[in-house]
Structure 1
Amino acid sequence: MKLRALCGPPLCLLLCLLFQSGLSQTVVKSLPGLPGDLPFYLETGYIGVGELDDVQLFYYFVESERSPRDDPLVLWLTGGPGCSALSGLIYEIGPFTFNYEKSTRFRPSLKLNDYSWTKVANIIFLDQPVGTGFSYANNWESYNINDNISVAESYEFLRKWLKLHPQFLSNPLYIAGDSYSGVTVPRVALEVDKGNEAGLEPKMNLEGYVLGNPLTNYDSDLNSRVPFAHLKGLIPNELYESAKTDCNGKYINVNESNADCVDDLKAVNLCVENIDTANILEPNCVTQSPKSTVSDRWDPTLINRDPSPLLLPTERASRVWCRNYNYLYIYIWASAKVVRDALHIREGTVEKWVRCNKTLSYTSNFLVVIDIHKELIKRGFRVLIYSGDHDMVIPYVGTQAWIDTLNLTISEDWHAWFVDGQVAGYATLYSSFPSLFTFVTVKGAGHTAPEYKPKECFALISRWFDYLYI
């Protein structure tokens, strides 16, 4: 008997939505652009959260290549807000990335990532909040979100995911992310611990959290950009001293009536306008880039074309010589039907995939999370904060400043850490029994540190997960 004969149109529609919103997990055996079967376990799927599971959060899960049963379980939340988990997976810490030498604008090629964090950890890459990547909602109201809703939905997702994967309940659990996830990751970790205290099932084996170049205190993080620019020699000393005096050390939300300060900051901007703030060693590319093309279609011919005389080919990257152009390949790849089929994306749910969705209806209502860090430290969790030391988006000096306000005891002061006999950065270890707090810089890395220094970041996370000295 047909369903229509059993119910009226409104009920049929509701049942169809509920059916579409059912839990789904699929093992992916192969991926377009990567020859042969995958040498790692990849699962993709949707988990419904919110009222009537109206929000469908998409995820990628990769088992550890070392020991899935014993290695940590990590929930990775890419920043933004609105940047896809696929970006963190492909460009930062996942098991595959693009092979730029063999890729064309029509056929991106993939290769295995020798420094994937999935070699030592099980990682869930979550498209959050809704409207990010391949996550979607069944009604428009659910797209109106804020920090509180994002945290609540990420926590609900994790609870439901672990109920479906109980074999990972005993694994050490870490919540991790970078950039804007500095706002949400600590709060998700706190929700997990509060849920454990309240007896909510399943009980999670939370051990700590990991953050890279995290937004933590909006005003002070952004205010640190001018001192950072001076520290790195991007602005002359005379200009810095003038700005410090005229602006009284406050470089954001400046009163327009303070003409001297305004003029100083205009001069600062002129000094850094041709520099990529995500990594000050790289040029600021043309404005038409994949990072800002949510409403405008990207142009694949940009891969080999740029009007700026600053952007000349280099020996390291003779063809794709501007980092932003690397991101074009993910648009081509993720938009292909064969890729969506391989990942088991539900048809008709996301018409146009974007790497970072700048059109989210998102309200940032919790931009200072220092007190959350204090609470988690008091509760005894391990913490790793790492910062690419060439990032001017969230400079490491600003991160150091808020860490100092935690008033932790230094157990090992500022010291170099090494990879293959070379300085990979500097570290400070803190203790506040029973919590262990580690702050690490990554030499030469930018805003998304593993993207720039994959080998060093892999060594860092491997040591930290295994409780080894950094």
Structure 2
Amino acid sequence: MFLRLLLLVIIFKVSMSQSIIQTLPGFSGNLPFKLETGYIGVGKLDAVQLFYYFIESERNPRDDPLLLWLTGGPGCSAFSGLVYEIGPLTFNYNNSRGTKPTFKLNPYSWTKVANIIFLDQPVGTGFSYATKAEGYNTSDTSSAAQTYEFLRKWLMVHPEFLSNPLYISGDSYSGITVPIIVQEVLNGLHIGHQPPMNLQGYILGNPFTDRDYDFNSRILFAYRKALVSKSLYESTKRNCKGEYTTPDPNDTACMSDLQAVTQCLGNLDEAQILEPNCERLSPKPKRAKWDHGSLGDSSLAVLLSTPQSAELWCRNYHYLYSYVWANDKTVRSALHIREGTIGEWLRCNGSLSYDYDVSTSIDYERNLTREQLRALIYSGDHDMVIPYLGTIAWIESFNLTVQVDWYPWLVDGQVAGYNMNYAEEKYSLTYATIKGGGHTAPEYKPNEALAMIERWLAHFPL
């Protein structure tokens, strides 16, 4: 009786902060999909208020999978994943102006095949906030625990989704936190936490997992992409003994080679090596308005005109629209953002009070291979931030059985990437590359990414 009463109290508290959004500034007419926003309190006395966007599947909400999506960072807003990667809206760059962003529908949204919760986490990200100053102190493990608590409470208020297949998903730095959250869910299921979740697996895109595997693979990646010469690669490998991220500063031969490598790679866009290397645009919250001094003259010109007017096209210019839109008072009112809870919205908040207390998620990943789970791990193959080579290396360290070796998968009759299938008793893992994709692969190759996720969720071969 006490547990039932507690559940009713939780549902009442959470349901008071839900809102169904039918229109949004910048989009003409009613939204052709169901959007819900809200806050859920977690932690002691619900001192941390996590903000979310929930979008129902545009196909079959009752039966389609439920994805919890976490954008990386840590500190990058879920709105970035929603509008630049896998959500049903994207900015209409042809018809937008610096102060008047407009939207268009994304034909490659993952909501075509899944229900998705986009969560602003950890606290201090996007519109999520804490009621007390100490609430902003967080870490890999505490953030994962709070996300698990969020998911439990969200499902209590949305019991109609309890039977839907659940996948914990994310990209970039989420490669650290997602495996921890999956383990939290499994632990809760084993001890009978309510509500019972229908956890089926997890999805990771270009995931940061382990510094040694991920970062040490960059020089091999650069060599294979013809960014450094064979002689420089072999000399660096020999002199640095394969350790490039924390080399011996007294080893002059290694340091000299690394300096030469830096000269070769320094002017590239690491997120997608084929795109222009442009100034990173992340206005800092020094005052109520943007610190335009942190933006170069050329980027400010783009902000005040159309993106096409710039002599050099840069993907970073697209990100400016999210700052304009999310910091507009009418937008915050439309999203039902609580007044006075945050200052300036940032696409990626680099000033979190965050303790990186998990240096590698390899052990978590290895433990998950013993469970009855499905995993999809994908890499944009032109990403030098988290190269596909490092991801493949740590997957292979698990010594899983290869069911299907490296082979191409197609979209519209063309090679969209390559994939491998692994298994271990009840566990299965699909690894896929997305040809031409960058660090946030669906942003660069949306058609291919949708085809990949639709096939995998349906248990079809890629």
Q: Is the pair's TM-score, using the shorter chain for normalization, greater than 0.5? A: yes
Between the aligned partners of 2:120 and 2:251, the Cα distance in structure 1 is 43
Query: Which of 274, 277, 284 pairs up with 2:270?
Result: 277
Aligned counterpart, 1:293 = 284
Look up the equivalent residue of 1:345 and give its one-letter code: I
Q: Does 1:376 align with 2:368?
A: yes
Deviation of the 1:236 alpha carbon: 1.2
Asked whether the equivalents of residues 279 and 392 of structure 1 are also in contact (C-alpha less than 8 Å), the reply is yes
CA RMSD of aligned residues (A): 2.0
Asked whether the equivalents of residues 134 and 345 of structure 1 are also in contact (C-alpha less than 8 Å), the reply is yes
Aligned counterpart, 2:51 = 58
Between the aligned partners of 2:285 and 2:351, the Cα distance in structure 1 is 7
Change (3 A) 1:136 1:441: same
Aligned counterpart, 2:349 = 357
Between the aligned partners of 2:30 and 2:400, the Cα distance in structure 1 is 48
The alignment partner of 1:305 has SS state of helix
The alignment partner of 1:425 has SS state of strand
Deviation of the 1:284 alpha carbon: 1.7
Aligned counterpart, 2:441 = 449
Asked whether the equivalents of residues 77 and 127 of structure 1 are also in contact (C-alpha less than 8 Å), the reply is yes
Q: Does 1:213 align with 2:206?
A: yes
Change (3 A) 1:62 1:197: same
Aligned counterpart, 1:464 = 456
Aligned counterpart, 1:153 = 146
1:264-413 to 2 correspondences below 5 Å: 264-287=257-280, 289-290=281-282, 293-295=284-286, 297-299=290-292, 305=298, 319=310, 321-413=313-405
Between the aligned partners of 2:308 and 2:452, the Cα distance in structure 1 is 26
Change (3 A) 1:22 1:70: closer
Asked whether the equivalents of residues 299 and 317 of structure 2 are also in contact (C-alpha less than 8 Å), the reply is no
Change (3 A) 1:301 1:398: closer
Between the aligned partners of 1:336 and 1:395, the Cα distance in structure 2 is 37
Give structure 1 regions of 4+ aligned residues with deviation exceeding 2 angstroms: 19-23, 292-304, 316-320
Look up the equivalent residue of 2:68 and give its one-letter code: L
Between the aligned partners of 2:402 and 2:14, the Cα distance in structure 1 is 49
Change (3 A) 1:56 1:434: same
Deviation of the 1:376 alpha carbon: 1.4
1:69-80 to 2 correspondences below 5 Å: 69-80=62-73
Aligned counterpart, 1:230 = 223
The alignment partner of 1:282 has SS state of coil
The alignment partner of 1:141 has SS state of helix
Deviation of the 1:387 alpha carbon: 0.3
TM-score of the two chains, using structure 1 as the length reference = 0.91
Deviation of the 1:367 alpha carbon: 2.2
Asked whether the equivalents of residues 21 and 53 of structure 1 are also in contact (C-alpha less than 8 Å), the reply is no
Deviation of the 1:298 alpha carbon: 4.8
Deviation of the 1:305 alpha carbon: 1.7
Asked whether the equivalents of residues 181 and 214 of structure 1 are also in contact (C-alpha less than 8 Å), the reply is yes
Asked whether the equivalents of residues 68 and 168 of structure 2 are also in contact (C-alpha less than 8 Å), the reply is yes
Structure 1 unpaired stretches of 5+: 1-18
Deviation of the 1:133 alpha carbon: 0.2
The alignment partner of 1:278 has SS state of coil
Look up the equivalent residue of 2:428 and give its one-letter code: L
Deviation of the 1:293 alpha carbon: 3.3
Between the aligned partners of 1:303 and 1:115, the Cα distance in structure 2 is 33
Between the aligned partners of 1:142 and 1:22, the Cα distance in structure 2 is 22
Between the aligned partners of 1:20 and 1:161, the Cα distance in structure 2 is 11
Between the aligned partners of 1:381 and 1:443, the Cα distance in structure 2 is 26
Aligned counterpart, 2:9 = none
Between the aligned partners of 1:298 and 1:45, the Cα distance in structure 2 is 29
Between the aligned partners of 1:300 and 1:57, the Cα distance in structure 2 is 31
Asked whether the equivalents of residues 302 and 325 of structure 1 are also in contact (C-alpha less than 8 Å), the reply is no
Between the aligned partners of 1:293 and 1:397, the Cα distance in structure 2 is 34
**What are the superposed Cα offsets for residues 234-270 of structure 1, whole Å, 9 maximum, x if unpaired?**
1111111111111111101111101111111111111
**What are the superposed Cα offsets for residues 200-256 of structure 1, whole Å, 9 maximum, x if unpaired?**
100000000000000111222111111111111111111111111111111011111
Deviation of the 1:392 alpha carbon: 0.5
Asked whether the equivalents of residues 294 and 357 of structure 1 are also in contact (C-alpha less than 8 Å), the reply is no
Asked whether the equivalents of residues 284 and 294 of structure 2 are also in contact (C-alpha less than 8 Å), the reply is no
Deviation of the 1:294 alpha carbon: 4.7
Between the aligned partners of 2:316 and 2:285, the Cα distance in structure 1 is 15
Deviation of the 1:300 alpha carbon: 10
Between the aligned partners of 2:16 and 2:269, the Cα distance in structure 1 is 41
Asked whether the equivalents of residues 162 and 202 of structure 1 are also in contact (C-alpha less than 8 Å), the reply is yes
Deviation of the 1:391 alpha carbon: 0.4
Change (3 A) 1:444 1:298: farther
Look up the equivalent residue of 2:409 and give its one-letter code: W
Between the aligned partners of 1:460 and 1:147, the Cα distance in structure 2 is 29
Between the aligned partners of 1:293 and 1:327, the Cα distance in structure 2 is 14
Change (3 A) 1:317 1:373: farther
How many residues were matched structurally? 443
TM-score of the two chains, using structure 2 as the length reference = 0.93
Query: Which of 135, 158, 165 pairs up with 1:172?
Result: 165
Look up the equivalent residue of 2:376 and give its one-letter code: L
Asked whether the equivalents of residues 23 and 334 of structure 2 are also in contact (C-alpha less than 8 Å), the reply is yes
Deviation of the 1:299 alpha carbon: 3.5
Deviation of the 1:22 alpha carbon: 8.1
Change (3 A) 1:294 1:411: farther
Deviation of the 1:283 alpha carbon: 2.0
Query: Which of 243, 248, 251 pairs up with 2:241?
Result: 248
Aligned counterpart, 1:433 = 425
Change (3 A) 1:352 1:21: farther
Deviation of the 1:76 alpha carbon: 0.5
Aligned counterpart, 1:132 = 125
Asked whether the equivalents of residues 425 and 442 of structure 1 are also in contact (C-alpha less than 8 Å), the reply is yes
Aligned counterpart, 2:8 = none
Between the aligned partners of 2:136 and 2:16, the Cα distance in structure 1 is 20
Deviation of the 1:131 alpha carbon: 0.2
Change (3 A) 1:303 1:109: farther
The alignment partner of 2:250 has SS state of coil
Between the aligned partners of 1:306 and 1:215, the Cα distance in structure 2 is 29
Between the aligned partners of 1:301 and 1:295, the Cα distance in structure 2 is 10
Aligned counterpart, 2:5 = none
